[in-house]
Structures are given as structure tokens and as C-alpha cells.
Chain A
Amino acid sequence: MFKNNNFIQYSIINTLSFLKESVFADEYALKKGFLQSLDPRLKTITFLLFLIQILFIKDIFILLGLYVICLLLAYLSKINLWFFLERTWIFIPLFSLFIAVPAIFSIFTPGKALMSLNILGLKLIITQQGLFGASLFVMRVTTSVSFAVLLSITTKHFELLKVLQIFKIPQIFVMTVGMCYRYIYLFIEIVENTYLAIKSRVGTKIHYKSGQRIIAWNIAFLWQRSYQLNENVYKAMLSRGYLGKPVVLDDFKIKTKDKMWLSLVAIISGLVFYFNNR
């Protein structure tokens, strides 16, 4: 399928490998680091507390302090710092930079002029208040994203799902999401294998119309497989006594380390509150 075919091949392979690496690789969550050793419930609650505090912090230096704490926690959790920075800073331009950049100019944030720019005859003035506001916003997003990413990469996905129980999310919802997580991987493998099977039979050079037909046929095939799977999985659940009300085992345990972490978070939160409101 000429260049278009390469495009499809490239898209399929890269999408699947991205999904496998980002969604299914528990590489860091399996390491024996500090955050990995904490009770997932406490970890999630304390991280949520950090995120809420970050929303209300008005001082950029307090945010900077929290960001340093986040990096320190990443280091103690045996996370490759370069990987961590790469992961978190990818999101920051997306979420904040485009929004923050206009805010530095006097058109949006009037105030004390710091410098002026002349772009295509248009005079733009950067204001002190604008720059401060934009920096605070970017720092807030950076710190929030870093904490969120740190939580997700140091916690196994199924543990994060189980944590939803404490927020009184209906069990059936948690179970369904868990099953989706389990079967998306299976379908990724089916898509990969089907693609290889097609490639082995028809090669890479086929007309785009045939290519479209093959892709359409594949989508239909996948739909049919998922429908069959759905029926059979339900039978497998019935066979082991499922009656429509899933029961799960709550096997989380709070250890001394968790209590110490909770105390530390309380102290940090107290200090953040004090410095933010003095």
C-alpha cells in the first residue's frame, strides 16, 4: 500500500507499542522504592491533598518547594529522574504554556512594564504582573502534573482501581474498568497478530482500496471477537458463583511506614498552609 501503507503500519505499530508501554508497563510500580512501599489508599489520599493545596497556593516559592519535594520522592522511589522530567514536561506545554503565554502581555494583564516587543508593527508589552501570573500558573501546573504522574507510575494500575473503592465508587464500575484494562491488552495482541498475518500473506504493497477493505474487515472481526468474548467471560463468571453483585477482597494494610508518611504529609501541609496565609 505504498506510502499510505507505511503510514498505517507506522500508526498501528506505534499506537500499540505506546499503549503497551504507557498503560500496561508497571516497570516503576514494581520497583522497591519508597512510594511503592506505601499503602495505595493513603498514598492516593495524601497525593490528592497535595493537589488540592497546590490549587490554592499563591506563592511561587511554596510551589517550587513542593516541586522539589516531588522530585525528592521520585528519587527515593527509584524513578529515573530524566524519565520523570520527560514524562511530566511533555504535558506542561500542552496544558499551560499556550494558555499562559498571552497572559504575560499588557493586553490581558495590565501592570508595570518590564519590556516591550515589536512584532510586525504590533507593540506588545510584557508586564511584571503578567509574567508573575503566568509563572505561577505554569509552576502550579508543573507541580500538579508531577504529583499526578508520580502517583500513577509508582502505583500498580490494579491498585489504583481498587483505591476507587474507598471513594464509594460502585463495585460493578471498578470491576468493569478492571476487565477493560485486562482485555484491551488481549485485543492489542489480536490487532498486532492480525496485522502480521495480513502482512505475511499480502505483503506491504497493496492497493489502498484493498487496504481499506482489509482494515474494515479487521474492525468487524475484532467486534465479533469481543462480542464472543463478552459472552464467554460472563459464563466464566457465572461458573464461579457470580450473581450480579461483585464481591472483592480488601487486603490493604496500614503499616508503621504509612503512619510516618501520614505524619510527614500533615507537617508539610501545615507548613504550606502557614506560609501561604501569613
Chain B
Amino acid sequence: MDNLIFELKDVYFSYLGKYPALNGIDIKVKQGEKIAVIGANGSGKSTLLHILDALIFPDKGNIKVFGKELKEENFNNEDFSQNFRKKVGLIFQNPDIQLFCPTVKEDIIFGPLQLGMEKEEIQKRLKDITHLLDIENFLDRSPHHLSIGEKRKVAMASTLIINPDVLILDEPTAGLDPLTARHIVDLLIHLNSEGKTIITSTHDLHIIEEISDTVYVFSQDKKIIKSGPSIEILKDDQLLRDHNLVHIHSHHHKGKIHIHPHIHLDHHTD
């Protein structure tokens, strides 16, 4: 079984039955792996993540999670549902969606409370997670008083407090300043080193190498056009250019004008 966590075979999904979002997706995710999903806007990345978190279910195809088939009717069983939610956590792209309570504290503890965790344990985890993310001072504040970076950290805390084995992140560094983005990347690396499986959808090619072992590239026709080790994918300029993931730009550097694909890799070493 190779400790397979997710196994998707020929998965199709469409919105309202007429707007295709995924066309025959095959993915395997092993325990402790770091996976990145890249692709242009509207290529189906977020839909895939929602399917992995069992928020929506495919029209066609087969999904196995932790060796068992994932079906919508399974979630009618409270035990199955709670067990799955404890093991798989999703951090949404827009933190305003994830932070729906009047205060940061209520948002962070929402998950553990719904999952029936003991109150003492919740308090302990709350203390640990807010310390880890340096958000202890925000607890009584309302999410609308926070900056986008702070909201993103709180959204992460609200999922991490559940301590899921699999962490799914939708564009975790989008719109963040470089320092906050760096903190989030460091946190993901740390969580992976502790054995967590990390699945990230992103446009930030310069973080791909650090946050993924395997990269899946989605095309505009909602298919996986290529997958492989991150280094190999990032070297394929043509592939990245064909799928709107890099662009040609020019800039001044060391007194010269450079013209190259903009992927933030090691082009300055020469």
C-alpha cells in the first residue's frame, strides 16, 4: 500500500453539472509527502483541494482515503465524518471565509469544539498554537481588525489546532509580504518534518522547491498535464510558460539588463 493517503483514479467534477472543473484526474499521495499543485487561474486546483477535503464529491471516478473508498454517504455516519475531519485539514485561500466567528479565539477553537475535544485539551492546544504562530495577542480581537497576514495565520491556527495528519493549503502565501510568506513556508517545512502530509496549491514558484517533493501541473482543460519532482518541473520553462506560470520580463541587475523567464530560481548565479 506504500502508506497511501489519497488515491484518485480518473476523477471528474463539474459545477452545476455543466461547467467542468476536473477532467480525469489521477493522483497518489503518500504519508509524509509534500505535494504542490500548480496551474493557471481556473485550472481546477481549488476544486481538487475541496474534493480532497470531502467538501464536494466527484461526478465520476474513484477516491480512496486512508485505504477506504471516499463516498458522500459515508459522511452521514458521524463517527466516520469526525474521524476524517480530525485527520484532514484544509486552509482556505480567502481567510475571510474561514474566520466566521466574532473573535479570533472562537474561530481557533471552533474545530476542536465541534470534534468533541476535551476543554482542557483545547485550552492547552490553543496556548501552544497561538505561541507557535505568534498570535497570542489577537485572541479577543475580531478578525476584521486583522491584516491579511494576521488573518492567514489565524486561519492556519484554526486548522492546525485540530492537529490533522494531512494539511491541505490553498494559496497559503498569496498576497502576503515576503517575511510573513517566509514564516508560513518555514512552518510548512517544520510540520512536514514532524510527519505531516502537506498538499499545497500555489502560484508562487519560488517556494515550490521547499514545500514539495512532487508537483502536479494543471492545464486550462482541467487535466494534469505533467507531474514529477519539483526540480524537474521547475526546469521545464516551456511547460511553465505554456500554462501561464512564468512570464518573460527584463530588469536591471549588476549593471546589466537581464531578460529571462520570471521564476525566481538560480538565474543570478552566473
Interface residues of A (CB under 8 A from B): 24, 26, 156-158, 161, 178-179, 181-183, 185-186, 189, 229, 232-233, 235-243, 246-249
Contact = CB atoms under 8 A, between A and B. Distances in A.
Contacts of B142: 24, 26, 158, 182, 185
Nearest to B140: A156
B106 interface: yes
B81 A243 contact: yes
B144 A182 contact: yes
Interface in B107-165: 109-111, 113-116, 119, 122, 140, 142-144, 158-159, 162
B201 interface: no
Interface footprint category on B: 35 or more
Contact of B103 (A158, A233, A239, A241): A158
A164 B100 CA distance: 19
A236 B100 contact: yes
B97 A240 contact: no
Nearest to A240: B111
Contacts of A185: 142, 144
A242 B106 CA distance: 14
Given A183-B100, A185-B144, A239-B53, A249 B92 contact: no
B90 interface: yes
B102 interface: yes
B82 interface: yes
Interface centre among A24, A229, A249 (most CB of B within 10 A): A249
A235 B55 contact: yes
Contacts of A157: 102
Majority SS at the chain A contact face: helix
Contacts, number: 89
Given A156-B140, A235-B55, A249-B122, A241 B111 contact: yes
Interface centre among A232, A239, A247, A249 (most CB of B within 10 A): A239
Nearest to B53: A239
Nearest to A239: B90
A235 B94 CA distance: 12
Given A158-B103, A241-B85, A247 B113 contact: yes
A182 B55 contact: no
B89 interface: yes
Contact of A229 (B81, B97, B159): B97
A156 B102 CA distance: 10
A78 to B, nearest CB: 17
Interface of B: 50, 53, 55, 78, 81-82, 85-86, 89-90, 92, 94, 96-103, 106, 109-111, 113-116, 119, 122, 140, 142-144, 158-159, 162
Contacts of B98: 236
B163 to A, nearest CB: 12
Given A182-B142, A236-B97, A239-B55, A161 B102 contact: yes
Given A158-B103, A236-B98, A186 B82 contact: no
A238 B55 contact: yes
A92 B32 CA distance: 65
Contacts of B162: 240-241
Contacts of A181: 102
Nearest to A181: B102
Given A24-B142, A235-B55, A249-B122, A242 B102 contact: no
Given A24-B142, A179-B101, 13 more contacts: A156-B140, A158-B103, A178-B106, A233-B97, A240-B89, A240-B110, A240-B115, A240-B158, A241-B81, A242-B114, A246-B114, A247-B113, A248-B113
Contacts of B114: 240-243, 246-247
Contacts of A239: 53, 55, 85, 89-90, 92, 159
A178 B114 CA distance: 17
Contacts of B96: 186, 229
B100 A233 contact: yes
A125 to B, nearest CB: 54
A77 to B, nearest CB: 17
A178 B115 CA distance: 20
B97 A182 contact: no
B97 A232 contact: yes
A240 B159 contact: yes
A182 B143 contact: yes
A241 B116 CA distance: 9
A229 B95 CA distance: 11
Nearest to B98: A236
Contact of B101 (A24, A26, A182): A182
B122 A240 contact: no
Contacts of B143: 182
21 contacts: A24-B144, A157-B102, A158-B103, A179-B100, A183-B100, A185-B144, A232-B94, A233-B97, A233-B100, A235-B55, A236-B97, A236-B100, A237-B110, A239-B55, A239-B90, A239-B159, A240-B111, A240-B158, A240-B162, A246-B114, A248-B106
